Amino acid sequence: MAKLILLPVYTDTDDVTSYDLAAVQATPELVRTMTRRMKVFRQAGRRDRSLSRMAYWDNHVRFFMRPLDGEFPDVDEVCVVDEEEVCIPEDYFVPADVVRMVVERGTAYWTAWGGNIGLTTAEVPERVLAGSLSQPS
């Protein structure tokens, strides 16, 4: 069964936006890529202690507004669900530009621009990747 990472989204504005949440398909390829990028960060950090983060152009994440029906789970922190458990109507997804995956010590998150609004997802800890996401579906 395919897994989906659901992430809260933080904006640089107090205004109400359409960027409530983000979703990432947790494919084996993406999990390997994220794990490899975290390993590269750790190795580079050993050589240069001033390294605080690395960023990659990455469009795996999709931003969306929270569906209004009561069936959608509360997402106050990173959660992993079976893709079949949630239904996100295609017209709920909203465009974002300049999408990057940012890797820091033991974690990764995405940043983007939605129009003139800065977006940042919650962090995906390495332990989440090493656990349930890396298990075969």
pLDDT, one tens digit per residue, over 2-43 is 888 999 999 988 776 788 899 999 888 999 999 999 999 999
pTM: 0.89
Distance between CA 61 and CA 112 in Å, rounded?
A: 10
The structural domains of the chain, with segments of one domain joined by +, span 3-134
pLDDT, one tens digit per residue, over 81-132 is 888 888 888 888 999 999 999 999 999 999 999 888 999 999 999 888 876 5
The C-alpha angle 56, 60, 62, rounded to 5 degrees, equals: 120
